Structure 1
Amino acid sequence: MRRASPKRYAVYSIVASILTLVLKFGAWGMTGSVGLLSDATESLVNLTAGVLALTAITIALRPADADHAYGHGKAEYFSSGIEGVLIIVAAIGIAYAAVMRFLSPQPLNNLGIGLLLALVSSLINFLTARIMLRAAKRFDSITLEADAKHLLTDVWTSVGLVAGLAVIIVMPEWKLLDPIIAIIMAVNIVFTGVNLLKRSVGGLMDDSLPDEELQLIAKAIHSYAGDESTFHGLRTRKSGPRRFIDFHLVVPGSMSVHDSHELCELIEELIHSKLPKAEVTIHVEPLESETSYDGHQVGGECAASLGGPCMGVERAKKKD
């Protein structure tokens, strides 16, 4: 049986975007609603983002090679960053169209059929997004997660749009509600774009793993190293679904090379069980050596900052 690939779910997003694009532009053409036009424009962005996501995931899945020893996982951050920019550009276009409609109000036609098409497209996006979110968790893919959340944003803005335009069916004199809804949607879309940009920049700048994952690593170390050992220089980052973890483990100098190696193997195995696709590098240092206490030079987290002893920091302070 062939193993499932995250690329399959990116294709789902592209297919869903094409379907909703046809439905929403059809709804706009029938009604003339600038709100529905804004919704259709966002679907165009969804399609572009889906293509980018498929491209990024394809690159990210390539194995490490001589030129990319740490793999190609960061390609996902480029995709989500570009998607964030596209979302913001789309929001500016929506706001411009809404302002023009304020200045030149126009009657809306065939709203009933148009809203029905918008609801069908929202249902397609909702089902696709739910499937993609499960896949994002399974494959630990920020690209699939970003694309899925983007689709969900489209769903909720579409539902709000339909609710607002339904009011116009009952009270046609409230036609200015159409551009007002479009502006609200544009603001909401901007927040989505900015959030994606922040996360993408964080990934490219090698932000540390979140606190809860750092705590898992610290517990894994303490569970085997015991009270006689400590660690410092814990540095972490994430590249696509892969986590890179390295730290200095300070152990009694009487411990043999064989035993320290076995200890590192146990710690690595436990970290792998908690954080899949983690690559762990451990530098062993003797407890009795002055040069072992270089945590202030290496940087990163130490045991003390994660709830345990950090003899390296204390010894370095006394030495200074």
Structure 2
Amino acid sequence: MDAAGNRNVRRLALIGIPVAFAVMGLKLVAWWVTGSVALLSDALESSVNVVAAFMALFVVHYAQRPADHDHPYGHHKAEYLSAVTEGVLIVVAALLIVKEALPEVFNPRLLDAPVLGLAINMGAAVVNGIWAKILINAGSKYRSAALKADGQHIMSDVVTSVGVLIGLVLAILTGYAIFDPLLAVVVAGNILYQGAKVITHSVGGLMDQAVSSEEEEAIKTVISANAPGALGVHDLKTRQAGAATFVSFHLVVPATMAVSAAHDICDRLEYAIQEVHPGSHVTIHVEPEGEKAHGLRVKTVKEA
């Protein structure tokens, strides 16, 4: 990621804090107006957004620090720590919702000022939906695990709000107040599912998960197209660490090839891979002819 991309990620992380406070405030007002346990559950989930917004701001700044003596590969994985923590917070929010909702299932009550409360909560959902889309798109564009996890969580918050609104409308139209706490329990189940997804994805990054099969095929294609003079490539490995992708492989060259010529091929390959996969760090081990090449083959000059 270039300097402009880093600035955009930090700016979005900073803006996320007042947005999270504003949305939580609206939902708390909606709960205060109506007394709805479902709206309280929605507000409780938004409190997680506030904590996550502060965490994302800190982690984004930390992850963009340059490599140093103690962290020669950089600090990129800090974003995954943020995402895992956010996933855990989502699960905690779901458990709090269940704690608030279950007693109300056995003692439901009709809502106060339901129309005003629903209108306020709907406004909060619209703000959340727009902001979640911005964060998810930015997270994908800049390969920021923290922004993407934050956006996915906020989008699950939007789904929660829509479910709550449907349940409260049913409670109002039918007169059955039990729809309110029941919807809160359903909301908690959805939040648990979303939290599990965030945790699973982030743990994959911490465990040095490889790039997707589509990205790997693109890297192989670039290598094949930009390695004239080489005889073969093997042991291609990739791993992701936040915005950075690490690519390594062995390049087999003729035994008589000059070091400078092999170096030129490596430079050409590094540039080509970084063009198709921005933010990648490429390591190439050059081997003389005679080593057994396997796996990916590149065209020789005669074959080209």
- Residue pair 2:84, 2:199 contacting (<8 A) in 1 also: yes
Question: What is the aligned partner in structure 1 of residue 277 from structure 2?
Answer: 275
Q: Does the 8 A contact of 1:253 with 1:286 survive in 2?
A: yes
Deviation at 1:183, TM superposition (A): 1.4
- What SS does the aligned partner of 1:206 have? coil
For residues 287 and 185 of structure 1, do their structure 2 counterparts lie closer, same or farther at Cα, with a shift above 3 Å needed?
same
In structure 1, list runs of 5 or more residues that go unmatched: 296-301, 310-320
Letter in 2 for 1:236: T
Shift of 1:27: 0.9
1:156 and 2:159 aligned: yes
RMSD between aligned residues: 1.9
Q: Which residue of 1 aligns with 2:31?
A: 28
Aligned counterpart, 2:181: 179
Deviation at 1:96, TM superposition (A): 2.3
- Per the alignment, residue 211 of structure 2 pairs with 209
Q: CA deviation at 1:227?
A: 9.2
Deviations 1:49-95 (A, max 9, x none): 11111111010011111111111111101000000000011111112
Q: Is 1:116 matched up with 2:115?
A: no
Q: Please point out which of 129, 132, 154 is paired with 1:129.
A: 132
2:229 touches 2:253 (CA, 8 Å); kept in 1? no
Counterpart amino acid of residue 83 in structure 1: E
For the 8 Å contact 2:252–2:293, the answer to whether it is kept is no
Cα distance in 1 between the residues matched to 2:86 and 2:44 = 14
Report if aligned partners of 2:171, 2:178 keep a CA contact under 8 Å in 1: no
Distance 1:38 1:287 in 2: 66
Q: Deviations over 1:3-28 (max 9, x none)?
A: 43311111222111101111111111
- Residue from 65, 68, 74 that aligns with 1:65: 68
* Corresponding residue number in structure 2 for 1:257: 259
Asked whether the 8 Å contact 1:7–1:58 carries over to 2, the reply is: yes
User: Secondary structure of the residue that 1:106 maps to in structure 2?
Assistant: coil
Q: Name the counterpart of 1:93.
A: 96
1:219-234 correspondence to structure 2 within 5 Å: 219-225=221-227, 229-234=231-236
Stretch moving more, 74-83 or 227-236: 227-236
Does the CA contact (< 8 Å) of 2:230 and 2:251 recur in 1?
A: no
In 2, the alpha carbon distance for the partners of 1:103 and 1:164 equals: 17
Q: Tell me what 2:301 maps to.
A: none
Matches within 5 A, 1:275-314: 275-288=277-290, 292-293=291-292, 302-303=295-296, 308=297
Q: Is the 8 A contact 2:233 2:293 kept in 1?
A: no
- Following the alignment from structure 1 to structure 2, what is the Cα–Cα distance between the partners of residues 284 and 228? 10
SS in 2 for 1:36: helix
Q: Secondary structure at the match of 2:226?
A: helix
What stretches of structure 2 of length at least 5 have no aligned partner? 299-304
Q: CA deviation at 1:107?
A: 2.3
Partner of 2:15: 12
Bigger drift between 116-125 and 158-167 goes to: 158-167
Quote the sequence identity (%): 39
C-alpha contact 1:250 1:287 (8 A) present in aligned 2 = yes
Q: 2:246 aligns with which of 238, 244, 248?
A: 244
The one of 243, 268, 273 aligned to 1:266: 268
Q: Is the 8 A contact 2:243 2:279 kept in 1?
A: yes
Aligned residues of 2:226 and 2:272 also touching (Cα < 8 A): no
**Deviation, structure 1 residue 150:** 1.1
| Partner Cα distance (1:175, 1:227) in 2 | 76
Name the residue aligned to 1:165.
Answer: 168
Question: CA contact under 8 A between 1:12 and 1:128: conserved in structure 2?
Answer: no
**Distance in structure 1 (CA, Å) of the matches to 2:189 and 2:237:** 37
Instruction: Indicate how the Cα distance of structure 1 residues 30 and 258 shifts in structure 2: closer, same or farther if over 3 A, else same.
Output: same
- Aligned-pair distance for 1:132? 1.8
Q: Partners in 2 of 1:274 and 1:249 — Cα distance?
A: 19
What amino acid is aligned across from residue 86 of structure 1 in structure 2? Answer: L
Distance 2:89 2:23 in 1: 18
Q: Corresponding residue for 1:197?
A: 199
1:181 CA displacement = 1.1
Give the paired residue count.
295
Q: Aligned equivalents of 2:250 and 2:211: distance in 1? A: 17
Contact 1:249 1:283 in 2 (8 A): yes
TM-score of the superposition, structure 1-length normalised?
0.87
Q: Deviation per CA, 1:228-262, whole angstroms, max 9, x where unpaired?
A: 62212212111110111111111222322121111
